[in-house]
Amino acid sequence: MRQMTINEQVQYLMQGTEYGDEELKQAMATELRERLLEAEKENRPLRVYCGFDPRTSDLHLGHTVPMRKLRQFQELGHQVTFLVGSYTSLIGDPSDKDKLRPQLSSEEVAQNAQTYAEQAYKVLDKQKTLIRYNAEWLSELSFAELINLASNFTLQQFLTRENFRLRWENGDPIYLHETFYALMQGYDAFAMRTDVQVGGTDQLFNIVTAARKVMAFFGEKPNVAIILGILPGTDGEVKMSKSLGNHIPLLASPEDMYGKVMSVPDKAMGQFFRLVTRWTPVEISEIESGLADGSLHPRDAKMKLASEIVAIYHSVEKAAAAEAHFVRVFQQGDIPAEMPSYVLLENQSVLDVLVAGHLVASKSEGRRLIEQNGVRLDGETLKDPNQIFPSLGVLQVGKRRFLRVVAENH
């Protein structure tokens, strides 16, 4: 990457940010510019971190949004810490939940953290990433220190937060330990003498209110808050989530990942450009200008996006192969990007899948369609109803019935 001016760095690092308040966004951009100038003058990198509570080991594209921002700071020469919430995970962040999160054991946290970090290195530069665990300092806090920390906050501040307010109004319990989470995250920022903290819009209170207040309380310059938008799922509407089935798994095959990106509605492409690609503001502007003046077709822009994402998590070569597969199977075969999925079981025959996947009403109907060359897998006609199902892919019966056959860990 060529040397950027300070103004270009600010534009690059603020790309994809959302604060819900334009004045706050401008204030953070101004503070970031000042901090970058200070670091340049003192010839030191900024200390940047994002905390990750490893409550799952099965990551999807939405989990990588803050990692992508950390990678941008790495590219500009700054010091990045991947903070594992080994202590905060024991509580569970209530920020985006309208009910109590289950608490994890330290063993579950440790196991998830290892897998989480391994997948994070698909985005972050492993050689330039410092991994720390917040149990290092949070476990050492005394009760007196916790009281001192809590004196910075009022109950009203917590009860005005939407998730707590809704639970209060519904008569659902709000447990006292849940309010500790923001205090603990604020103390993380202080303990590491953070210059910049990265997080999603669900972390606005924890970063802008709690962390900055705690740092100021202890006599440190408040951290700059880089608050990122939330990546929508493949429906283009709500937050990407495995439970909603609108996610793109990091462990998906190149072909499946490419196809899922292609199913994202056009209106959500801008968010994907800014939150999960390696593209700069200038590159994104060029693409969006082409879309606006009609010189670039939305389908071609989305194919460029799909290739970029597959290249990040697999390779350039596999991205090219996935694109060729998509063109052959979906475009030339006129196959829809959205279709039901079926998890392939061991030793199932072609006929078994046709029936279990509800593509045919009976085995006799399945045999008849196969005899009439009416069943295809990724464009290839299947001839033997009793053969073991040959591979994962798109199963087609006739012209209008489709089923995506996937592996169990899809």
| pLDDT at residue number 173 | 80
| pLDDT at residue number 155 | 83
| pLDDT at residue number 228 | 96
| pLDDT at residue number 392 | 86
Instruction: Walk me through the domains of the chain, giving residue ranges and CATH numbers.
Output: 6-228 (3.40.50.620), 254-331 (1.10.240.10), 341-406 (3.10.290.10)
| pLDDT at residue number 92 | 53
Q: What is the pLDDT of residues 330-355, one digit of tens each?
A: 666 667 767 888 999 989 999 999 99
What is the mean pLDDT for each group of 10 consecutive residues in the chain (410 residues)?
87 94 96 96 96 77 93 96 84 48 66 77 92 91 92 83 77 81 91 95 89 94 95 90 85 89 92 95 95 92 96 95 85 70 91 93 92 87 92 86 80
CA–CA separation, 10 vs 30, rounded Å? 9
CA–CA separation, 71 vs 266, rounded Å? 26
CA atoms within 13 A on the CB side of 161: 23
